[in-house]
Structure 1
Amino acid sequence: MFMLVNCSNCRTPLQLPPGARSIRCAICQAVTQIADARNAPPPSHSHATPPPPGPPAPPSPYSHAPPGPLPNSHGRKKAVIVGISYRYSRHELKGCLNDAKCMKYLLMNKFQFPEASIIMLTEAETDPYKIPTKHNMRMALYWLVQGCQPGDSLVFHYSGHGSRQRNYNGDEVDGYDETLCPLDFETQGMIVDDEINASIVRPLPHGVRLHAIIDACHSGTVLDLPFLCRMDRSGKYVWEDHRPRSGVWKGSNGGEVISFSGCDDDQTSADTSALSKITSTGAMTFCFIQAIERGHGTTYGSILNAMRTAIRDAGGSGLDLGGSVVTSLLTMLVSGGSLSSGGFRQEPQLTACQPFDVYAKPFSL
C-alpha cells in the first residue's frame, strides 16, 4: 500500500512505495528522506568519509515557469504541445509529429508565444522528460496551470490516439469516459477525462484563459467541460448541458476554458495521409490552422464552422492555405494543400465551461 508524503522542497504530494526510505520529486527533483524511528540505525560517532555523490539528475522542465521576460500587462503565455506517433507499434500514426511542429510554429509566429514557454512532448525529443509517456504528460499538464495568474493565456494541444471506456459513476451523458493514449498506454494505462478535468480545468482561477485543441478519436468531451456546442450544417447551434447528474461541478474555479476537438465522442479522427506519399498531418489540426490563416479566426463560431465545412467538403483545393504565416511549414509537410476527395466522417466540436454567443465572442490566444 502506498503512503503519501509531501516533497520537502515544493510540498507536492508524492506516493511512497512500500519500504522506501527516500523519494525523488518528479516536479522539482528534490530528494525527500523518510524518517522512521523504529528502523533508524543507532547514531554513529565515527568520522567515516561519506560516499561521493552520484551523477546529478537531468534538470526537469516542470520545476518552474520557463525562463523569459517578466509577465506584461496582458499576462503570460504558456503551452503544452503533445504529438505521439506510436512509431514501431501496430498503433502507428503518420501525422502527429507534424501537427505538433505546425502548432508550435502557429503559436510562436501568429500569437507571439515565447519558445521558452512551450513544452513539446514528442518521440523526437532527446530529453527523457519530454517523451510523451503518461507520467510526463501528467507533469506537463501540472506545469501548465502551476502558478497561473489573471491575464495568463494557456494552450494544450494534443495529437495522438484517443479512446473511451465505460463510465460507472453516472457522470457521462453517453455512459463513456473519453481518454487520451500516452506513448506507454498499453502498460501504464490511458489518461481519463476526469483526470484531465481535475488537472487543468477545475484549478483554473478567474482571469486565466485555457484553450485546448485535441486532435484525437472520441475527443468531443475529453476535457469533461459542462457544455457542448451542437452545430448543424447550416451553422445554427444550441448548447447541450453535459453537467453530471451527480451535481459535481466540472467547470473551472472562475477561469475560462474552451476546447476544440477533432470529432464527436462516438466518432474517429483522420489524418491527411492520402495527400502525400511523404508525410501527413491530422485533419483537425490542419483545418484549425487553415481557418485562422484564411481569416475565419475572428470568432469561435467562425472557426468551428470553417473547420466543419472544410472537413465535410474536403477535396480539390478545399484546404489550400495560400499565403500565410504557416504556409511554408504546412506546404512542406503536406504536398498539395488539400484533403483527400470525399471528405471525412468527423465533425469538430466545441465545448466550454459556460455557454456563450459563438458568433459574437472574439477568438484570441
Structure 2
Amino acid sequence: MASRGERCSGCGRQLVIPSGAKFIRCGTCQTVTRVRPFERWGPAYDSNIRPAAGGFMNSNRPGLVNNRPIVPPKYNNNGFNNPPRPAQYAEPPLRPALPPPPVHGRKRALLCGVNYHQKSYRLKGSVNDVKCMKYLLVERLGFPIDCILTLTDEESNPLRIPTKKNIRLAMRWLVQGCQSGDSLVFHFSGHGSRQRDYNNDEVDGYDETLCPLDYETEGSIIDDEINGTIVRPLTHGVKLHAIVDACHSGTILDLPFVCRMNREGYYRWEDQRLPTACYKGTSGGLALSITACDDHETSSDTTVKQLSTGAMTFSFIKAMEDEPVGLTYGRLLNAMRHSIRQAKAGIRLDGPIANLVNKTVFKSDSSQEPQLSSSEKFDIYSNQVVM
C-alpha cells in the first residue's frame, strides 16, 4: 500500500499516512490531524510511485519534476498548505510614503518653503529662505547635511513637494526616535492663516494654521495638529526650535507660554493654558518657537537686490551671524525686531550669509514684531541660543 508523510497539526511530528486515510491521531500528543487529499501531492511525492516513461516527468527519480527538485509546500497552523495568491492580489513591496534622510545623529532639521507658483497669492522668498537656513545649519551650526530634509515647490521629487500629506509625514520623521541630547529644527516659510477655534482651547478663540501648497483642496495644518505631532512627543533632554516665517504665526505651535516684550526690552511670560484645554506641553523636552509676528499680525517678503527672502528668516540669520557665540534669546529677539524696524530705510548686510546675496541692502515695508513662545518659562537674557 502506498504511503506518504504528513505533519501533526499539534506537535509538528512527521506521521506516516496510509493511502486513503482521512484522519490520523498522533501517538505523541494525541492530536487528530486531517489528512489532505492524496491526489494533491502528485506522484513525485509518493516514494513508492515512479513516473511512466514518456510522461510529463522526464526523470525516473522520485522528487524531481523535469529534473528539478520539488519545493515542499508551506504549512499553516492547521497543517494545510497555503496556495499561492493570484498575481493580481499580490501585495506590493512595503516602502515609506516619504523617503527622508536616515534617522541618525544628534541634530536633525525639517525645512519647508512654499512659493505657491502660478497663484495670485504667490510668494518670492520662501524657497530662498530654505536655502539660507540650510546654509546656516550646515556651515555654522554643525548639522549633518544628510540629516536635513527640505520640502519646496521647486523639488523634482514629488515626495519632497510641500503638500499637506508630505509635510505631515516629514514632521513625524523629525521627532521619530528622538532621545536625550537631540537638537531638532523645524522651519517653515510660506503663508499662514487663522480659523475659528471649535474645541475651545485657544485664549483668543482662533486656531493658527500653516498653508501647504495644496491647502485650497486639502486644507491647512492647524496648530493643534502641529503641537500633537512635534511638541508632545519630545522626551526629556530633547530640544526643538521652530522658526516659522508666516502670517498669524505667534502661537503656531500652541505652546503654553508666550514671551511679551516691549520696545525697551522688558518682558513677561503670558500663560496661554486654559483649564478646559488638553495638555499642550512636551513629554519632558523643551520646545521653543520663534515666529514672524503675533497671531493678529501679518509678515512679508523682503528684497535683497535680486534675491527675495522672508523678513523674519533673514533677520534671524543675520542675528545668528552677528553674534555666533553667547547669543541669548533676549538679545536674539531684540536684534530681529531692530532689523525689521530698520528695514524700511534699508539694512547693510555683512558676513558669510550676506555673501550669498552680494553683500547689499534688503528692504521691507513690514512692521511685524517677531515673537517667542516656549513650553516652559526661563530667563531670556541668561539662556543662550544652542541649536
* TM bucket normalised to smaller: 0.7 to 0.9
Distance 2:179 2:92 in 1: 36
Say if 2:328 is the partner of 1:292: no
Q: 1:51 to 1:289 in 2, by over 3 A?
A: same
1:38-93: per-residue Cα shift (whole Å, max 9, x none)?
xxxxx999889846979978765557x6166xx4xxxx101000000000111200
Q: Over alpha carbons, which structure has the higher Rg?
A: 2
Q: Residue 349 of structure 1: which of 362, 371, 377 is its match?
A: 371
Alignment match of 1:249 (pick from 273, 279, 282): 279
Matched, 1:280 2:308: yes
1:199 & 1:142 partners in 2: Cα distance? Answer: 6
Distance 1:316 1:201 in 2: 38
Q: Is the 8 A contact 1:94 1:280 kept in 2?
A: yes
Aligned-pair CA distance for 1:312: 1.3
Q: Percent identity?
A: 53
Other-structure match for 2:361: 337
The residue type equivalent to 2:307 in the other structure is: T
TM-score, with length taken from structure 2: 0.74
Q: Structure 1 residues 247 and 165 mapped into 2: Cα distance closer, same or farther (>3 Å)?
A: closer
1:71-220 to 2 correspondence within 5 Å? 71=105, 76-220=106-250
Paired residues of 1:62 and 1:140 also in contact (CA < 8 A): no
- Secondary structure in 2 matching 1:101: helix
Determine the structure 2 residue equivalent to 1:311.
Answer: 340
1 CA distance for matches of 2:202 and 2:219?
20
Give the conservation status (yes or no) of the 8 Å contact 2:193–2:210: yes
Distance in 2 between the 1:93 and 1:144 partners? 26
Contact 1:66 1:117 in 2 (8 A): yes
Q: What is the aligned partner in structure 1 of residue 355 from structure 2?
A: 328
Moved over 4 A (4+): 43-49, 51-63
> Could you say which residue in structure 2 is the equivalent of 1:19?
none
Spell out, residue by residue over 1:272-320, the C-alpha distance to the aligned partner (whole angstroms, 9 max, x if none).
Answer: 13x43x33000000000000111176101110000011111224453x2
Q: 1:54 to 1:314 in 2, by over 3 A?
A: same
Q: Distance in 2 between matches of 1:300 and 1:210?
A: 14
Deviation for aligned residue 1:245? 3.1
The answer to whether the 8 Å contact 2:248/2:294 transfers is: yes
CA RMSD of aligned residues (A): 2.4
Matched-pair contact (CA < 8 Å) for 1:162–1:178? yes
Q: SS of 1:168's equivalent?
A: coil
- SS of aligned partner of 1:157: strand
Supply the distance in 1 between the matched residues of 2:277 and 2:218 (Cα, whole angstroms): 30
Report the secondary structure of 1:94's partner residue. Answer: coil
Could you say what secondary structure the match of 1:338 adopts?
strand
**Residues of 2 paired with 1:84 and 1:359: CA distance?**
33
Task: For 1:176, give the aligned amino acid.
Answer: Y
For the Cα contact (< 8 Å) 1:262–1:346, is it kept in 2? yes
CA 1:336–1:242 in structure 2 vs 1: closer, same or farther (change >3 Å)?
Answer: same
Check conservation: 2:200, 2:277, Cα contact below 8 A: no
Indicate if the aligned counterparts of 1:179 and 1:191 stay in contact, CA closer than 8 A.
yes
Comparing 294-303 with 134-143, greater Cα deviation is found at 294-303
1:339 is displaced (CA, Å) by 2.0
Query: CA offsets, 1:84-139, max 9 Å, x none?
Result: 00001112001000001000111001111111101000011112211000000000
> Matches of 2:84 and 2:286 in 1, distance apart?
59
Are residue 230 (structure 1) and residue 250 (structure 2) matched? no
Between the two proteins, the alignment pairs up a number of residues equal to 307
Match of 2:380, SS state, is coil
The aligned residue for residue 66 of structure 1 is: 102
Aligned equivalent of 1:258: 288
How far does residue 322 in structure 1 lie from its aligned partner after superposition?
1.1
Q: Tell me the distance in 1 between the aligned counterparts of 2:162 and 2:84.
A: 46
- Secondary structure of residue in 2 paired with 1:313: helix
TM-score (norm 1): 0.78
The amino acid of 2:370's aligned partner reads: P
Deviation of 1:171 after TM superposition, in Å, equals: 1.2
Aligned counterparts of 1:357 and 1:176: Cα–Cα separation in 2: 28
Question: How much has 1:213 moved relative to structure 2?
Answer: 0.1
* Cα distance change on mapping 1:52 and 1:281 into 2, 3 Å: same
Q: Considering Cα pairs closer than 8 Å and 6+ residues apart, tell me whether 1 or 2 has the greater RCO.
A: 1
